[in-house]
Amino acid sequence: MPVFLDATAPDFETAFAALLGAKREDAPDVDEAVAKIIADVRARGDAAVFALTAKFDRLALTAETMRFSPEEIEMYCAEVPEGERVALELAAERIRAYHARQMPEDALWQDESGATLGWRFTPVSEAGLYVPGGLASYPSSVLMNAIPAKVAGVERLAITCPTPDGVVNPLVILAARIAGVDEIYRIGGAQAIAALAYGTESIAPVDKITGPGNAFVAAAKRRVFGKVGIDMIAGPSEILVIADAENDPDFIALDMLSQAEHDESAQAILITDSPDLARDVAAAIERRLETLERRAIAGASWRDYGAVITVSDLSQAAALSNRVAPEHLELCVADPMGLSEEITHAGAIFLGQWTPEAIGDYVGGPNHVLPTARSARFSSGLSVMDFLKRTTLAQMTPEALRAIGPAAETLAISESLEAHGLSVRARLDKLND
């Protein structure tokens, strides 16, 4: 049974803290196995990747067949029905337009000392994108990862996507082509992450790896972090809906189930100032769970982690939501933009009853790779910034050095860093000659 809480009840704080603290994911400890796989790929390169792919994916690869050829890509793309192709193209166009606006500005200015200061953004040169195979092989995730990379200016973008028993999802191939991906490899697991990070005879190493994956992929990403950059390690999906009385309970039920159907560890929470709506949404969820295709998964998520909280007013709802810091937040209220200003921690906000979270998963434009497990308190969704880095610029003139150099020398001496101080002093002495 999901949890039903009344925020005005005396024992609410205890129950809410328990809800916040509930551990939803018990990732299996595969770290040792992953360390061995990475060492094997570093030592034997292609040969290790082929052996591991034969073992895990029951697929015999060679240096020639590991990478999809232009002809294969063409063939798979042609298999995608018109409707799906058009939908993918619309999604790609909207995602591209949104992310293009994220491109940051370079800056260069002169300050009152005469020093020139600034920064410049440059793209990561080469990036790798992990795409899961099988059930969780989502073409939408290919767009959401690859398009920001290409908008940022990544020159070489390689995808790895396992094809167990040789089964390929043509939509993934088409999404990669639409997004401008440069290379697609039919490998997966920790061996794919190792190949991207360290390179093999056939796969050049990359500088950054993004994309979701299972426990092996997550452990491998943690291990190669430092050698390459990685994105966040995503946890199970979450949605929090703040709703007033003026809502269709079935809309909200479906929005909550659309996260619950991802994963038995997903979490859907409703916070409302209407006890009637609370009751009606819960009933609508039960009704929808009778027929939903993924009712086993969605039902388990709702039963184990679902929650309905009634509050006295919407500001209280916003305050509770801030403590959850949800990945997805729907504001189904009369003035959603106004209420959004009370939100301090959330991955993505969906405003008003005509904005189901699923719009954001596909065609809204913003990224659907978002911080989970309360990490919206300190991190953001994927963006072009994940594929850019900032180099700071500083140029002193003799006058600027005369103005601020002595302070640097003083601080260097106070930190017992003599050469630091001398590097400034030698120049000041020359200027004073």
Stretch that binds a second copy, among 40-48, 57-65, 185-193, 422-430 (CB under 8 A): 422-430
Among residues 94, 183, 214, 319, the one that binds a second copy under rule CB under 8 A:
94
Exactly one of 51, 75, 87, 319 binds a second copy (CB under 8 A); that residue is: 87
Minimum distance between the CB of residue 339 and a second copy, rounded to whole angstroms? 12
Binds a second copy (CB under 8 A): choice among 69, 125, 312, 315: 125
258 assigned to a ligand binding site? no
From residue 234 to residue 253, the character string flagging contacts with a second copy as x (rule: CB under 8 A) and all else as - is --------------x-xx--
328 is catalytic: yes
The Cα 422–Cα 406 span in angstroms is 11
What is the C-alpha separation between 424 and 331, in angstroms, rounded?
A: 56
Residues 6+ apart with CB under 8 A from 224: 38, 193, 194, 197, 198, 209, 230
Residues 6+ apart with CB under 8 A from 131: 137, 138, 141, 142, 145, 159, 160, 161, 172, 176, 211
Cα–Cα distance between 236 and 209 in angstroms, integer?
20
| Identified binder of a second copy from the candidate list 160, 281, 357, 384, rule CB under 8 A | 357
Backbone phi, psi, residue 286, to 5°: -60, -40
Torsion angle defined by CA atoms of residues 96, 98, 102 and 103, in that order, rounded to the nearest 10 degrees: 30
Can you tell me the distance from the alpha carbon of 356 to that of 250, in angstroms, rounded to the nearest whole number? 12
Q: Which of 261, 264, 328, 357 is catalytic?
A: 328
Write the interaction track for a second copy spanning residues 256-295; mark x where CB under 8 A is met and - where it is not. Answer: -xx-xxx-------------------------x---xxx-
For the segment 381-410, give every residue that binds a second copy (CB under 8 A): 381, 383, 385, 389-398, 400-401, 404-408, 410
User: What DSSP element (H or E) covers 108?
Assistant: strand 107-110
Please say which residue, 92 or 195, places its beta carbon nearer to a second copy: 92
Quote the DSSP letter at residue 347. S
Closer to a second copy at the Cβ: 60 or 411?
411
Size of the residue set binding a second copy (CB under 8 A): 123
Rounded Cα gap, residues 422 and 19, in angstroms: 58
* Element at 326 (helix H, strand E): none
Binders of a second copy among residues 41 to 70 (CB under 8 A) are none
Nearer to a second copy, 159 or 346 (CB): 346
Site string for a second copy, 167-186 (x = CB under 8 A): ----x---------------
Task: Look up residue 376 and give its DSSP letter.
Answer: G
The interface mask with a second copy, positions 128-167, x = CB under 8 A, is: -------x--xxx---------------------------
Which residues participate in the annotated binding site? 130, 191, 214, 237, 259, 262, 328, 361, 415, 420
